[in-house]
A and B are shown apart, each in its own frame.
Chain A
Amino acid sequence: KQEVTQIPAALSVPEGENLVLNCSFTDSAIYNLQWFRQDPGKGLTSLLLIQSSQREQTSGRLNASLDKSSGRSTLYIAASQPGDSATYLCLLGQNFVFGPGTRLSVLP
């Protein structure tokens, strides 16, 4: 059974810092991995999708990497802003399992 963890569970950083969020999984037989953000009380917004054959995807200040062999994906956020404050979730495109999320607070 696929198990997904996200560490840390919560993170607080000052504005302007670069940061890395982690998503780890136990079964490397995935088709893709998708990163989302969720604002409090809101739905999920898709950020990036990485196919299993890819190693990286970039969108603006966001860069996601995927290493299937080590069962790990990272989401890199450059020059963080208070508007980046949200919960970040990863979704494994295999049996569609979500990680528990990392709650990010960027302080002005």
Chain B
Amino acid sequence: DAGVIQSPRHEVTEMGQEVTLRCKPISGHNSLFWYRQTMMRGLELLIYFNNNVPIDDSGMPEDRFSAKMPNASFSTLKIQPSEPRDSAVYFCASSLANYNEQFFGPGTRLTVL
């Protein structure tokens, strides 16, 4: 199994630009999670999906952030417009179901100048 795949691995953009992060979960997994890691706040849950349906998006910081899961094998996290304080590592994780073992992707390191 290829594991959770994220792209791009690194993204550098300028303030105000739109950023789209992508995730492919492990085949057969029904739950998908987006986390953000910063030095100041550690790892935080942004949103999670179960069977392609968003279950809890209370961690999404602002309306500038949106996430979609159009099918079981693909999810996007979009930031529009991006700001320097959005600079962080964004991780995607998947699991068989909500409360099963989570497996993480390698992360996307986002830098907003």
Give chain A's interface residues, CB within 8 Å of chain B. Answer: 31-32, 34, 36, 42-46, 49, 89, 91, 93, 95-101
A-B contact pairs, 10 of them (CB 8 A): A34-B101, A43-B104, A44-B93, A44-B104, A46-B101, A49-B100, A89-B43, A95-B56, A98-B42, A101-B42
Residues of B within 8 A of A43 (CB): 91, 104-107
Give the A-B pair count, Cβ closer than 8 A: 39
Chain B contact residues: over half helix, strand or loop, or mixed? strand
Chain A contact residues: over half helix, strand or loop, or mixed? strand
Residues of B within 8 A of A46 (CB): 101-104
Choose among A31, A34, A95 the residue that contacts B45 (Cβ–Cβ < 8 A). Answer: A95
Q: How large is the interface on B (under 10, 10 to 19, 20 to 34, 35 or more residues)?
A: 20 to 34
Whether A32 and B91, one on each chain, are in contact in the complex, defined by CB atoms closer than 8 angstroms, is no
Identify 11 new A-B residue pairs, CB closer than 8 A, beyond the known A34-B102, A44-B93, A49-B100: A31-B98, A34-B101, A36-B104, A42-B106, A43-B104, A43-B106, A96-B45, A96-B48, A98-B35, A100-B42, A101-B42
